[in-house]
Structure 1
């Protein structure tokens, strides 16, 4: 058995599969934790294909404005097709091409884990905030707190070794509140708070979950051979069966940790 060739590029796979299964639900949550309001000027760092950006745009309305920034031009190509009123900007989180004191709120979801210099990225986010501006940055909580993904990671360990399992665990490496506080302190953010928020993963089948993970360039993309994919697909039917709900869909918890801070100055 071999995996069918996907006609979609990595950004399109992300948008078609990961966004509805995992990420779309978090836009309103992160926006609320940043106290985004009508009329605000907001920056979304590592915006991807725009799940959070679009949620923010719906809140700020025509009196506000939103900038979505990402280092990946393919992600931005997908995002630009969704809303031409949003300013979609290519750039690195560690060197934001934006002026000081520009935004009422800066938000970011599920990107900090992949930044090369995490403290520097947070410094940049604080730099572009106006005095009194609010920051909210979401990361995946520990894989141990996401039972379906924890079972899948352990299956990868057993079948192919810890190196493959750890490739899958890459998005979960910041799932520790103390580690996040340490990064904030290194970034000079002394008033940061870290809160856990509950979320769910839902794919329409076990096969869909496994196939999407295999296609993800940030984790298992290019790691599994066709034979290994066939094996993990077969074994997953048993390992992930406890998370199957009515109709064959698979669903389980995947909480997030959200870093919140406010820049000194008048609100």
Structure 2
């Protein structure tokens, strides 16, 4: 499959290839999505932002546990799949670097298999830090083989954006996806100085 076809199926899904890619993502990434939601330990009082929810498996899992769930994705095809899975979620076109959220408006940010698609990771981390309330947390996961940098460097990039108490580990999904690199970090209560 050519790079253009892969991008149309998985990177920036649209059309028939996007629908096929979405179905494959829902199947292959489902356990990882559920795991990230469990790691985040969401509560009914929290507002959660899901960056790049793809076909909406993790978005639906978050919506079943949190008070308010917002999904931002640049693909209209994936937003349509999200509407099917999580009708109560708020959805908008956006990205990690441009969420459309007010400053300090969310308690938790989740993202699965999306960080490798961020055109500017520094801008993405800065935006996610900006939208988190003081004391808020971020949980990211991606296929380790798809990361453009080693996971310790990804953690350093998050730290450079202001995140604290970073934790990074790997997790083995039960399906054929391969090892997932995961990161959890917090926006300090004091905010950025």
**1:215 alignment counterpart:** none
Q: Tell me the secondary structure at the aligned position of residue 59 of structure 1.
A: coil
Within a 5 Å distance, the mapping from 1:148-227 to structure 2 comes to 172-174=146-148, 176-201=150-175
Q: Distance in 1 between matches of 2:84 and 2:177?
A: 31
The CA deviation at 1:190 is: 4.3
4+ residue segments displaced more than 4 Å: none
Coordinate RMSD, CA, aligned: 1.9
Q: Tell me which residue corresponds to 1:25.
A: 31
Q: Which structure 2 residue ranges, 5 or more long, are not aligned?
A: 1-14
Q: Which runs of 5+ in 1 are unaligned?
A: 1-7, 143-171, 202-251
CA distance in 1, matches of 2:46, 2:156: 29
Aligned residue for 2:120?
117
In structure 1, what is the Cα distance between the partners aligned to 2:24 and 2:162? 36
Confirm or deny: 8 A CA contact 1:35 1:134 kept in the other structure.
no
> Paired residues, what number?
176
Bigger CA radius of gyration: 1
SS at match of 2:169: strand
The normalised TM-score by structure 1 is 0.61
Tell me the TM-score normalised to structure 2 length.
Answer: 0.83
Q: 2:19 aligns with which of 12, 28, 41?
A: 12
Structure with greater proportional helix content: 1
Give 1:34 deviation, angstroms: 2.1
Is 1:136 paired with 2:139?
Answer: yes
Whether the aligned pair in 1 keeps the contact of 2:134 and 2:189 (CA below 8 Å) is: yes
Choose between structure 1 and 2 for higher RCO, CA contacts under 8 A separated by at least 6 residues: 1
2:55–2:79 CA contact under 8 A, matched in 1: yes
Q: In structure 1, the residue corresponding to 2:163 is in which secondary structure?
A: coil
